[in-house]
Amino acid sequence: MALAQAKSDATEARLSGMQIPEGGAGWARAARQDALDRLTGMGLPQRRDEYWRFTNPAEFLKPETPRAEIALDAPGFDDTDVLRVVFTDGVFDADASDALSQEGLEIERFADAVTKDIHWIKGLLGVLETAGQDRVDRPFATFNTAFAEDGVVLRATGKVSKPVHVEYRRSDDTAEAVLRHMVRVEDGAELTLLESGVGASRLNTGMEVDIADRGVFRHVRMQGRDHERRAATHVFARLGEESTFKSFTLSLNGMMTRNEVIITLKGDDAVAHVAGAALGDGRDFHHDDTVFITHDAVNCESRQVFKKVLRNGATGVFQGKILVQPDAQKTDGYQISQSLLLDEDANFLAKPELEIYADDVQCSHGSTSGAIDETALFYLKSRGIPEDKAQDLLVLAFVAEALAEIEDEDLAETLRTQLAGWLERRR
Amino acid sequence: MLKIKDLKVKLEEEDKQILKGVDLEVGAGQVHAIMGPNGSGKSTLSYVLSGRDGYEVTEGSAELEGIDLLDMEPEERAAAGLFLAFQYPVEIPGVGNMTFLRTAYNAQRKARGEEEASAAEFLKIVREKAKDLKIDAEMLKRPVNVGFSGGEKKRNEILQMAVLEPKMCILDETDSGLDVDAMKLVSDGVNALRNEGRSFLVITHYQRLLDHITPDVVHIMANGRIVKSGGPELALEVEKNGYADLMDEVQ
């Protein structure tokens, strides 16, 4: 078949000369080999794949010639007291990082963890990623399992007071980075993970998050102003009873970004919220949020809240799915995806999906796209607020519902400031 | 203060003349009322003066203290001292009332070359004005007009007026949707702002608002023109006999 052949060719081309990392323990090697086999079996996606109808996967396969110089942002979350873990050019940077020690937290680099005999990682690496291939292939995640050499490994055993901030840096013309983070939140423990910075022009990050009963995991991510970024990211999470997962991503610019979040609510009364705001200016900008939430337990709540602000030919994509398994009664699922198109050149493509097998379920979804509200704009201007500032206010108002998903008001304020700065620079 | 001469306005989209030559002059410190039946062009006049899109001025002029209003953007008119209290104040989810007020206040100051107020300074100014209008702090924290009752929305308009301290205030059917108590509160707010340097143009359907805000001059507008002007007694006449008699008389 032509499609199968195309996939096979693309995979062969991409993997040419690549080998799974040397040096890991036997179990790590086995997990990587298994991923490589699965990847070869499924093949890299093509535009003709239904799941890639709106986003051209070839963009993630192109070899990159990075710019000689890139304008780096001031690192995000500067005002927050964090445990800083820095990856420079895709490799853990001990000099730039804080000492890897924090009460209630076991933390080490992935490159070290895979050489050891750590029980929980052995049982997790590639496991959520494999389970997350239900109904759709996610080859870039499998690629990550096979080839990632570094990242951070976190196990929260208590309420970790200080967020862990994973900061990406690139000091030279690094074209590629593949990073894998592993998280385990134990019974009743709490952890906040922040991500920011510029990884590489071609970036692939993967994260597996296993939350035990009553565990709380919060994730706030900032994808900043590296204009040539092509990033494929995956977050897989499994939630135990009464546990909480909350993830928010702010994306500004970048060329081609696909953020996939795949969650399974495995224990009763669990809560999962995924939210994001993406702002894009220019024909180069393409941002894709793809979310798949499976309700597999009773009385769980899930939320997907995504906002996109697009102009000058920018494109935004949302593919969101809620799958309710037969036993997942009393499910409460809600999904909203909205775009604000600042001119007629911007594009927004949305595909909301519900697949429900239980009967006592409350699920709803909504998707809208619209222009700036002229009446509101006039109201603001009539009070003396200049047009550009009035428009900024309305843009901030538009993304407010997504930002409200961030519980920590200081973190929310940090992102709001980033957003306002972006708007100001774009005038 | 405000000088309107032979103002003719049509809708941009269709060839429909709404204002057919309005002449009006409001002196400094004066309160003028415009009354008239539905569709007479009262609200159009307020929108054209404040610079809303969708209208085309085909003839005539409007000046604020000798400056051509019609040539300016809405925000420039505001900075020059014009204020329109909306008939239907707009709800803006996601924008905090306080942020909105401070942004407007500082934008106007900046446009006039004055120093902007810090968050703390501004908070003090607003709290004082809000107290006078019996607006509680909770309302300032909420998004602009969202979930406000009709009375709260109108009080919020007057609060903006009090904070921004315009020279020329246009009140577009501020009494609509208000019960007696709310109308009293709003009118008291307006009356407190009356002074020698500030003028008002009060657009209303009914005479009852003018019981609270006593005008110096009352104009009757019909079919895109001001057809009759007089003292406060003109409003009472309308209240008693309706517009129909008056229209017959004019024709």
Which chain A residue is nearest to residue B107, measuring alpha carbons? A385
Which residues of chain B approach chain A closer than 8 Å at the C-beta?
50-53, 73-75, 77-79, 83-84, 86, 89-90, 92-95, 99-100, 103-105, 107-108, 111, 143, 160, 164
Q: For B120-147, give one letter per residue: b (16+ CB within 10 A) or e.
A: eebeebbeebbeebebeeebbeebbbee
Coil/strand/helix, residue A238: strand
Highest mean pLDDT among A59-68, B165-174, B182-191: B165-174
Beta bridge partners of A177: A203
CB contact under 8 Å between B103 and A393, yes or no, is yes
- In this prediction, residue B151 carries a pLDDT of 87
CB contact under 8 Å between A387 and B92, yes or no, is no
Q: How far apart are CA A291 and CA A276, in angstroms?
A: 11
pTM of the model: 0.88
β-pairing, A164-169 vs A190-197, is parallel
Backbone CA torsion sign across B100, B101, B103, B107? positive
d(CA B158, nearest CA chain A) in Å: 12
Per-residue pLDDT of chain A (427 residues; tens, 9 = 90+): 688 898 999 899 999 889 999 889 999 999 999 999 999 999 999 989 999 999 999 888 877 655 545 555 555 788 889 999 999 989 999 999 999 999 999 999 999 999 999 999 999 999 999 999 999 999 999 999 999 999 999 999 999 999 999 999 887 666 789 999 999 999 999 999 999 988 777 899 999 999 999 999 999 999 976 777 889 999 999 999 999 999 999 998 788 999 999 999 999 999 999 999 999 999 889 999 999 999 999 999 999 999 999 999 999 999 999 999 999 999 999 999 999 999 999 999 999 999 999 999 999 999 999 999 999 999 999 999 999 999 999 999 999 889 999 999 899 989 988 888 888 887 7
The band of B231, judged by pLDDT with boundaries at 50, 70 and 90, is very high
Q: Does A404 touch chain B (CB under 8 A)?
A: no
Q: How far apart are CA B117 and CA B126, in angstroms?
A: 11
Domain ranges of chain B: 2-94+167-250
Coil/strand/helix, residue B14: coil
CB contact under 8 Å between B89 and A375, yes or no, is no
- The ipTM of this complex is 0.94
CB contact under 8 Å between A376 and B92, yes or no, is yes
CB contact under 8 Å between B78 and A383, yes or no, is yes
Q: A142 near A35, Cβ under 8 Å? A: yes
- In this prediction, residue A68 carries a pLDDT of 47
- In this prediction, residue A225 carries a pLDDT of 65
d(CA B119, nearest CA chain A) in Å: 16
Q: B67 near A346, Cβ under 8 Å? A: no
Beta bridge partners of B3: B25, B63
A350 burial level (CB within 10 Å; 0-12, 13-18, 19+): buried
Q: How many CB atoms lie within 10 A of CB A279?
A: 26
- In this prediction, residue A173 carries a pLDDT of 67
Contacts A–B by Cβ distance under 8 A? 78
d(CA B58, nearest CA chain A) in Å: 22
CB contact under 8 Å between A386 and B107, yes or no, is yes
Give yes or no for residue B143 having a pLDDT over 60.
yes
Closest by Cβ to B75, choosing from A386, A393, A394: A386
A18 φψ region: left (φ > 0), alpha (ψ -120 to 50), beta (else): beta
d(CA A378, nearest CA chain B) in Å: 7
Q: A77 near A194, Cβ under 8 Å? A: yes
A378 neighbourhood in chain B, CB within 8 Å = 52-53, 74, 90
- Residue A153's nearest CA partner among A213, A190, A193 is A193
Share of chain B above pLDDT 70, in %: 99
A384 neighbourhood in chain B, CB within 8 Å = 75, 78-79, 104-105, 107-108, 111, 164
Complete DSSP assignment for A5-30 = HHHHHHHHHHHTT--PPSS--HHHHH
Q: What is the gyration radius of the CA atoms in chain A, in angstroms?
A: 21
Spatial strand order of the sheet with B17-26 comes to: B17-26, B2-11, B55-64, B67-68
Residue A341: phi, psi to the nearest 5? -100, 115
A379 neighbourhood in chain B, CB within 8 Å = 86, 89-90, 92
β-pairing, B92-96 vs A91-92, is unpaired
Chain-centre distance for alpha carbon B152: 17
Q: How far apart are CA A363 and CA A293, in angstroms?
A: 12
Q: Can you give the length of chain B in residues? A: 251
Give yes or no for residue B47 having a pLDDT over 60.
yes
d(CA A260, nearest CA chain B) in Å: 27
- In this prediction, residue B78 carries a pLDDT of 96
Coil/strand/helix, residue A358: coil
Backbone CA torsion sign across B129, B133, B136, B140? negative
- In this prediction, residue B250 carries a pLDDT of 64
Backbone CA torsion sign across B55, B58, B64, B69? positive
A413 neighbourhood in chain B, CB within 8 Å = none
According to CATH, what is the number of the domain B2-94+167-250?
3.40.50.300
B94 neighbourhood in chain A, CB within 8 Å = 396-401
